[in-house]
Amino acid sequence: PELVNDYLLPMTGAIWSCSVQSIERYPSLYLLRFMANHMLLGAKGHRQWRMIPGGADRYVDAVLRGFGGRVRAHSPVRSLESAGGEVRVATDRGVETFDAAVLAVHSDHALRLIKDPSPLERQVLSAIPYRRNEAVVHTDRAVLPKRRLAWASWNYYRAPASGREASVTYNLNVLQHLQSPEPICVTLNPLRPLRREKVIAELSFAHPVFSAEAFAAQGRIDELNRSGNRFFCGAWAGWGFHEDGLVSGLKAAGSVRAWAARPEIQAKFAYAQRDLRGLGQAYPAQAG
């Protein structure tokens, strides 16, 4: 019980930013496989976790600089639906029709956007829900262990009354090698109040909740991306990390190329092969 309650549950809850109850429903095989891959099952050795200097938006900027198409910012999509073999997309600027659409958003968000989801889309997307997490950036060291030598990248606090709820605090000075007089921390879903004068910012994030049903749905994403002209990708297709979003996006791009190479699509849109030639060189087609 000590290993489970004092290490396994809080550690994995910290990794996926989810509750103890969610972790308890997590399939043990997938959990152990993930922890073994990240060297979390032993006292010696660990993976080298890396960060992007300046924040994750730096590699988004790098992608945009090399993108040959047109990016339409500040145009949130409100809904999309099928329209005679095409995809009708509604934004704040009006309604437009496209040959196909890639939904690179959270699984639950994608399902809310689609006005006419197919049974397969509904089955896959609804099986991978998201959980809202409140994050507080602060310098209140009261949430860290009393002994400074015990300060770690991830620290958890468990409510003494029930012992079942836990909140996680990331020590950014350790994680991102920050230099500051006071430790800069991020606490998810704090269980005890933080000193207001120590609070820097309050944010809200959503993280995927994995389960046996979610992993089964992940196994059908390729099938989903072969089923029509709506394609899906996101970190929810893997372990929930940025790298998983990248891998999922590359697979979706391959599915788009395979769709565009179909004879009936090329017959309808003679320009498809020409315009997608660069895409096809970069991303291999998915079989199907």
Angle at 196 between CA 191 and CA 201, to 5 degrees: 85
Split at pLDDT 50, 70, 90, the class of 164 is low
Q: Say whether both 175 and 37 belong to one domain.
A: yes
pLDDT band (50, 70, 90) for residue 67? confident
Strands 230-232 and 101-103, how do they pair? parallel
Answer yes or no: are the C-beta atoms of 203 and 133 closer than 8 Å.
Answer: no
What phi and psi values does residue 201 have, to the nearest 5 degrees?
Answer: -160, 155
Res 27: pLDDT? 83
- For residue range 180-200, list pLDDT tens digits in order: 999 999 999 898 899 999 999
**Does 45 share its domain with 134?**
yes
pTM of the model: 0.84
Tokens encoding 176: 């991102």
Of 155, 189, 208, the residue that ends a domain is: 208
Most confident of 7-11, 129-133, 279-283: 129-133
Is residue 271 in some structural domain? yes
Mark whether 204 and 248 lie in a shared domain. no
C-alpha span between 264 and 235 (Å, rounded): 32
Residue 162 has pLDDT above 70, yes or no: no
Does 288 score more than 50 pLDDT? Answer: no
* Continuous H helices in the chain: 2-3, 9-16, 20-24, 28-37, 57-65, 107-113, 119-126, 172-175, 212-218, 221-224, 242-260, 263-268, 272-275, 277-282
Helix (H, G, I), strand (E, B) or coil at 113: helix
Position 96 scores a pLDDT of 95
Query: Could you tell me if 176 and 225 lie in one domain?
Result: no
pLDDT in tens, 201-226: 999 999 998 889 999 999 999 999 99
Q: What is the separation, in whole angstroms, between the first and last Cα of the chain?
A: 47
Joined tokens for residue 8:
């396994």
Sign of CA dihedral 211, 217, 219, 221: negative
CA distances from 239 to 52, 62, 96, 234 (A): 19, 24, 34, 10
17 shares a domain with 152: yes
Same domain for 261 and 218: yes
**Domain count across the chain:** 2
**Do 73 and 216 lie in a common domain?**
yes
Q: Which of 182, 208, 234 is the last residue of a domain?
A: 208
233 compared with 16, residue with greater pLDDT:
233
* Whether 196 and 139 share a structural domain: yes
**What is the percent of the chain with per-residue pLDDT over 90, rounded to a whole number?**
51
Q: Distance between CA 128 and CA 101 in Å, rounded?
A: 20
**287 domain residue, yes or no:** no
- 136 and 151 belong to one structural domain: yes
Domain coverage including residue 153: 2-49+130-208
The per-residue pLDDT of the chain, averaged, comes to 87
